[in-house]
């Protein structure tokens, strides 16, 4: 049961906040202004194709023992005030391992935070401890293991708290430190200080 007194965000919100806090702000506080870009559309289509390919692979492809494979698994947490859909969950004897497919060539920190959030929600839903996740880089066809550390868990909690404050107060956060992201950002015309 979700605690209605907490903001319920999705893992996509969390990922956007980590990419740039302002993207999250525009998306959450001014939801009508964002267009669907070609880049976003391509990412969605690649995900669907990857799920179909993944279903034909063995878990050994990820360096994991054989296990049951569940696709598009919905998870939510009343503790975190968060919900999301995991691309794949591998269930082995005594372990659940979230797998996330990415149209990327490296495992950025925002991806690690995202899989840590999936791990925490799976733990709450299934009452098991999740100690690792897999990020699968589609262009490289490469699986990378991400340990779900105490530091990552702490960061998930802190980030969600900051996101709740931004949403409640509707205050525009500072821009990303990675200004190269601004060059082809669809919100560029709203950010006059970058
Ligand atoms: S233009 Fe830069 S600061 Fe503004 S939302 Fe886009 S990435 Fe963030």
Q: Give residue 43's pLDDT band: very low, low, confident or very high (50, 70, 90).
A: low
For residue 184, how far is its CA from the centre of ligand 1 (angstroms)? 9
The pLDDT of residue 178 is above 80: yes
pLDDT at residue 53, rounded to an integer: 74
Q: Give residue 36's pLDDT band: very low, low, confident or very high (50, 70, 90).
A: low
Class of the domain covering 9-190: alpha beta
For residue 189, how far is its CA from the centre of ligand 1 (angstroms)? 9
pLDDT at residue 184, rounded to an integer: 87
In this structure, which residue's CA is closest to atom 4 in ligand 1? Answer: 191
Q: What residues flank ligand 1, with Cβ below 6 Å?
A: 20, 22-23, 175-176, 181-182, 185, 187-188, 191, 194
Atom number in ligand 1 closest to CA 191: 4
Q: How confident is the model over 88-135, as pLDDT tens digits?
A: 999 988 899 999 999 899 998 989 999 999 999 999 999 999 999 999
pLDDT at residue 62, rounded to an integer: 75
For 147-167, what is the mean pLDDT?
96
In the predicted model, what is the mean pLDDT of the chain? Answer: 86
Distance CA 45, CA 66 (A): 28
The pLDDT of residue 47 is above 70: no
Beta bridge partners of 91: 68, 96
Cβ neighbours for 135, distance < 8 A, ≥ 6 positions apart: 99, 100, 102, 107, 111, 112, 115, 143, 144, 146
Domain ranges in the chain?
9-190
The pLDDT of residue 44 is above 70: no
**Which residue from 182, 184, 189, 192 has its CB within 8 A of the most atoms of ligand 1, so it is best to mutate?**
182
Atom number in ligand 1 closest to CA 185: 6
pLDDT top residue among 176 and 61: 176
Q: Give residue 140's pLDDT band: very low, low, confident or very high (50, 70, 90).
A: very high
pLDDT at residue 7, rounded to an integer: 64
pLDDT at residue 90, rounded to an integer: 93
- Cα–Cα nearest to 11, from 186, 148, 156: 156
**Which residue from 18, 176, 189 has its CB within 8 A of the most atoms of ligand 1, so it is best to mutate?**
176
The pLDDT of residue 2 is above 80: no
Q: Give residue 72's pLDDT band: very low, low, confident or very high (50, 70, 90).
A: very high
Atom number in ligand 1 closest to CA 23: 5
């Amino acid at each position: 049961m979700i605690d209605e007194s907490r903001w319920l965000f999705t893992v996509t919100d969390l990922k956007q906040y980590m990419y740039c806090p302002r993207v999250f702000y525009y998306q959450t506080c001014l939801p009508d202004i964002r267009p669907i870009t070609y880049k976003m559309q391509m990412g969605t289509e690649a995900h669907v194709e990857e799920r179909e390919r993944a279903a034909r692979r063995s878990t050994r492809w990820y360096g994991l023992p054989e296990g049951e494979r569940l696709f598009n698994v919905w998870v939510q947490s009343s503790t975190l005030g968060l919900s999301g859909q995991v691309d794949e969950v591998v269930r082995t004897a005594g372990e659940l391992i979230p797998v996330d497919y990415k149209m990327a060539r490296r495992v950025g920190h925002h991806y690690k935070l995202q899989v840590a959030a999936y791990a925490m929600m799976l733990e709450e839903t299934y009452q098991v401890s999740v100690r690792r996740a897999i990020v699968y880089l589609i262009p490289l066809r490469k699986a990378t293991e991400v340990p779900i550390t105490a530091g990552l868990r702490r960061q998930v909690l802190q980030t969600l708290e900051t996101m709740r404050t931004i949403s409640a107060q509707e205050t525009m956060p500072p821009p990303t430190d990675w200004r190269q992201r601004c060059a082809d950002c669809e919100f560029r015309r709203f950010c006059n200080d970058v």
